[in-house]
Structure 1
């Protein structure tokens, strides 16, 4: 039995670097999935989850470098991210936007400061402790609507899937993160009244982040982060 367990551990060690984790590689704009990293910042690591919610890598992922382009989209239109492979860890999803400060562009700004607001989420479904299901399982893309009242200008859009399969321990949750670069046109004149910083939005101990999803089955689930701005 000990030999069998050791063999399994060795197999996991050998396989994990080869089987890359899923990554958000492309924007979906005007109904088209764009080329990988055309408008999405590329990380410097192949197996890409971030676990330290206080790290600078938590904004757009480790070593994320500016993409070559900025995608234009009309306010009120759908926009989204596509993955290089389907999500295979159970978890939850959040999408954020931040308006780029004056004097910078979506290709130059690092996303620092109290500037982010939530624009979308997918939440696990619970049944009073009887069951928990994860709508993000096998997801290959996610789209949300750019708020129609947003002012014109450059924005960063940020997607995160929080894998919860090992989240019972602190920093056990895995965050699969990417940032896209967009320019919004045809919008309004309203921005949210409150914002969050990323990093800073989570401390890692939230009930929806540090959680055992297996036993006992959670009777409810609390989505981490602010409410979706609408």
Structure 2
């Protein structure tokens, strides 16, 4: 049996996927560390979601860590999400997959949804809008940049959104096995924030699930052969200037 180079690379990447995962587990507000798992809903497991029709795509599943903190954020400020391979791997120089295996290339995306109570456990039926996205620049992926930045990703909270409580869904999509569906791996956690000093914008929103389709070119894609451009999945990025 003959295998193409793309097939071989896909199999090689897939062989390391058990040990190559990651969890978003810390948030900084204007550079100030809010603490490990503070204001973030997280599981013990770093396994991905692969079904784009599942409610688990909202804020993950098996959420054994449910923080009772809502993090205060000023509209227009910068928050920084921090990823690590496991809940205990921060600073572990012996972990070659810290913060995530370099094979797990793909985009990083952030969404917000207004919610009456950011501590509520029912997260179905919310209306989400995209506030950050980073994909492929022709050479490197968002994941490459996150790894180079020690697991950190900067996100600007739009200055024009209304005051109130929100869930911030921060997501990494690994595409190393995405040549067919299911194959793309979705890693996400939700942070609980309260925005002050905002405006009165009314962003267009989407539902989760419903956000992605299995046929989206940014979901089912061969990243190993002939890729010159990549379409980040999901809705248009929200802008206060739009």
Q: In structure 2, what is the Cα distance between the partners aligned to 1:204 and 1:93?
A: 18
Q: Which position in structure 1 is the counterpart of 2:142?
A: 135
Structure 1 position 71, deviation (Å) = 0.2
Q: In structure 2, what is the Cα distance between the partners aligned to 1:154 and 1:209?
A: 30
Structure 1 position 114, deviation (Å) = 5.1
Q: Which position in structure 2 is the counterpart of 1:123?
A: 135
Is 1:95 aligned with 2:110? yes
2:120 is paired with a residue whose SS is coil
Q: In structure 1, what is the Cα distance between the partners aligned to 2:224 and 2:112?
A: 32
Q: Which has the larger radius of gyration?
A: 1
* Matched residues, number: 207
Is 1:33 aligned with 2:33? yes
1:169 paired residue among 180, 186, 192 = 180
Q: In structure 2, what is the Cα distance between the partners aligned to 1:208 and 1:16?
A: 19
Q: Which position in structure 2 is the counterpart of 1:225?
A: 234
2:119 paired residue among 97, 107, 117 = 107
Structure 1 position 153, deviation (Å) = 0.6
Structure 1 position 109, deviation (Å) = 5.1
- Equivalent positions of 1:180-219 (< 5 A) are 180-192=191-203, 194-215=204-225, 217-219=226-228
Structure 1 position 80, deviation (Å) = 2.6
Is 1:179 aligned with 2:186? no
Moved over 3 A (4+): none
Structure 1 position 61, deviation (Å) = 0.6
The farther-off stretch of 32-41 and 54-63 is 32-41
1:125 is paired with a residue whose SS is coil
Contact 2:55–2:124 (8 Å) recurs in 1: no
Gapped regions of structure 2 (runs ≥ 5): 1-10, 85-97
What TM-score do the two structures reach when normalised by structure 2? 0.79
What TM-score do the two structures reach when normalised by structure 1? 0.83
Q: Which position in structure 1 is the counterpart of 2:167?
A: 156
Residues 161 and 214 (structure 1 numbering): CA distance in 2 closer, same or farther, change over 3 Å? Answer: same
Is 1:82 aligned with 2:82? yes
Contact 1:20–1:46 (8 Å) recurs in 2: no
- Residue by residue, what CA displacement relative to the aligned partner does 1:62-114 show, whole Å, maximum 9, x if unpaired? 133532200001111011310123232111111100111xxx31011533225
Gapped regions of structure 1 (runs ≥ 5): 1-8, 127-131
- Equivalent positions of 1:58-69 (< 5 A) are 58-64=57-63, 66-69=66-69
Contact 1:204–1:210 (8 Å) recurs in 2: yes
Q: In structure 2, what is the Cα distance between the partners aligned to 1:157 and 1:222?
A: 22
